[in-house]
Amino acid sequence: MLKIHDIRESRVYQEAMQEGVEKERARLIRSIPKWAALKITPAQIAENLDLDLDLVLRELAKKPS
């Protein structure tokens, strides 16, 4: 009988989870300029989004497309 542990150990489950994590991270990164437009400091953005401050600073340094 399949158990939850067996399903969570499967490659398909692991790949799906990783894809979900990557999509969520990309969504958070895309939201950085919106937070900055609200005059929120990079340190506060990083803390609120649970991202690295260096990542936030790099994203803010990029020129708008």
Q: Which pLDDT score is estimated for 51?
A: 97
Average pLDDT in the 9-29 region?
94
How far apart (Å, rounded) are the C-alpha atoms in residues 62 and 20?
A: 25
**Mean of the per-residue pLDDT values of the chain:** 92
3-state helix, strand and coil shares in percent for the chain, rounded to the nearest 5: 75, 0, 25
Residue 2 has pLDDT above 90, yes or no: no
Q: Please write the tens of the pLDDT for every residue from 36-46.
A: 999 999 999 99
Q: So where are the chain's domains?
A: 1-30, 31-65
How far apart (Å, rounded) are the C-alpha atoms in residues 63 and 65?
A: 6
